[in-house]
Amino acid sequence: MDELRSKLFYEQKNGYDRIDTAEHVAVEEYCRDYMAFLNNSRTEREAVINAIDQARECGFVEYRPGMELHPGMKVYRCNRGKALMLAVIGKQSLGDGCVIAGAHVDSPRLDLKQIPLYETDELCYFRTHYYGGIKKYQWVTIPLELHGVVMLKSGEVVDVTIGRDPDEPRFVITDLLPHLAQDQMKKTLAEGITGEGLHLIIGSIPYADEGKDRVKLAVLSILNDAYGINEEDFLSAELVAVPAFDVCEVGLDRSMIGGYGHDDRVCAYAELKAIFDVKDPERTCVCILADKEETGSDGVSGMQSRAFDTFMEDLCAAQNVELRRCYENSFCLSADVTAAYDPLYPEVSEKRSEAKLNYGMGICKFTGARGKSGTSDASAEVVAYLRRLFDREGVLWQMAELGKVDQGGGGTIAKFMANRNIDTIDAGVPVMSMHAPFELVAKLDCYMTYKGVLAAYSDD
Ligand code: MN
Ligand code: MN
């Protein structure tokens, strides 16, 4: 009966029961580099800069329209400093399609408003407008750091980073003490902290003079000394507050990684590493690091932007191939994180269908909510292809679904790729506490996601 059972049942195994010592070492090495990348990539702009630096070291050159392309060439195109596309030209024609992996490098955060500064009761604050889906109560009483750019009227760019360096000050949004929180505590988690109330405290010493708004004046003088900016310059600034914790190992066995921005830089890094490591691919490999996924993939740097089609059309033109032919023969891994089953909150999950930590890369055939609404739903044919490929290449993977039916749901860039007539499937790292200031992933799953993307890139 046991024999029959093992022949007929689908049983999953913990990844650590399936990898050998050599692969365990590879997991650790890979994750060490990923942690360094994540620590230095706190915004989409920083992720793109770091990705370009690493790409150049691996021999990638900036693509210029009209450039001649031959097999083995490595090119990249940066979209306005916020999104990046890389390609390794394959031996086959682009008319046979390419292998695409697409992740996003934006993460939930607190954007400063365009008129953010104000003083009240001799304290100075920045007002914010949050970006992406956050649970607001998680963002108070944690250290925050500031990143971004101030574009001056002259066109000059002023880069701002305050709080990443341990010597630098940080910021915080205060919360009520429990002693006086009786009314607040009766509110729901959604209402206890409001979006309009997420203000960072940034100063308290008044300027040594008479008059009003003396703390604000003192704060602005500090900013003016450091960056040469004034209050009006915030109008054309993109400054974001992100958690000021370093990425770190979690657990006595150090098997997990905690940090801000795993969604979706953990998949972005996996793709990058894979496109750096792929050797003489048969089909052209394309890696996308997109922006604006957390707000719906709209806009010039989002996955719905024609910037991607323009890049691909340029590559196709170099081989006299029609873009639509390339698309219809292409395959895309939409590499985005999925929810990991959390034993502390079993009520939202249907355990058997959910991704588990240490079980490998999570494959989502469909996403969406309320009856799969908004999903691209990969075909059974595509899933069968991945089963074949991953099992052959020793990629540990698992089927994943985001929560119980009618519990909620989510979306990724998958549908925007599929809408282009590209066979697409969601695949990525399972995450706990997704969209929290400190998200949790398992090292083994990070490595397997890299291995999965590399297998797709390398397949002929
Ligand atoms: Mn994501
Ligand atoms: Mn997300």
Fold topology of 109-243: Aminopeptidase i, Domain 2 (2.30.250)
Please report, to the nearest 10 degrees, the dihedral formed by the alpha carbons of residues 135, 137, 140, 146 taken in order.
Answer: 10
The pLDDT assigned to 340 comes to 97
For residue 109, how far is its CA from the centre of ligand 1 (angstroms)?
13
428 alpha carbon, closest ligand: 1
For residue 315, how far is its CA from the centre of ligand 1 (angstroms)?
27
List the structure tokens of 192. 């206890």
Return per-residue pLDDT of the chain as tens, 460 residues: 999 999 999 999 999 999 999 999 999 999 999 999 999 999 999 999 999 999 999 999 999 998 999 999 999 999 999 999 999 999 999 999 999 999 999 999 999 999 999 999 999 999 999 999 999 999 999 999 999 999 999 999 999 999 999 999 999 999 999 999 999 999 999 999 999 999 999 999 999 988 999 999 999 999 999 999 999 999 999 999 999 999 999 999 999 999 999 999 999 999 999 999 999 999 999 999 999 999 999 999 999 999 999 999 999 999 999 999 999 999 999 999 999 999 999 999 999 999 999 999 999 999 889 899 988 999 999 999 999 999 999 999 999 998 899 888 888 999 999 999 999 999 999 999 999 999 999 999 999 999 999 999 999 8
The pLDDT assigned to 410 comes to 86
434 alpha carbon, closest ligand: 2
CATH architecture label of 2-107+260-458: 3-Layer(aba) Sandwich (3.40)
109 alpha carbon, closest ligand: 2
The pLDDT assigned to 265 comes to 98
For residue 425, how far is its CA from the centre of ligand 1 (angstroms)?
14
For residue 263, how far is its CA from the centre of ligand 1 (angstroms)?
5
For residue 235, how far is its CA from the centre of ligand 2 (angstroms)?
27
The pLDDT assigned to 304 comes to 97
Own/partner long-range contacts of 372-377 (Cβ < 8 Å, ≥24 apart): 373/409, 374/409, 374/411, 374/415, 375/411, 375/414, 375/415, 376/414, 376/415, 376/417, 376/418, 376/419, 376/424
Q: Using alpha carbons only, give the angle 38, 42, 48 rounded to the nearest 5 degrees.
A: 80
For residue 436, how far is its CA from the centre of ligand 2 (angstroms)?
10
The pLDDT assigned to 427 comes to 96
- DSSP SS3 for 166: coil
Sheet holding 331-335, edge to edge: 61-62, 74-79, 83-88, 284-290, 98-104, 331-335, 423-428, 361-364, 397-399
338 alpha carbon, closest ligand: 1
For residue 127, how far is its CA from the centre of ligand 2 (angstroms)?
23
* Residue written as token pair 């003083």: 119
For residue 264, how far is its CA from the centre of ligand 1 (angstroms)?
5
For residue 82, how far is its CA from the centre of ligand 1 (angstroms)?
16
Domains of the chain, residue spans: 2-107+260-458, 109-243
For residue 263, how far is its CA from the centre of ligand 2 (angstroms)?
5
433 alpha carbon, closest ligand: 2
290 alpha carbon, closest ligand: 1
Asked if residue 262 lies in contact with residue 38, where contact means CB atoms within 8 angstroms, the answer is: yes
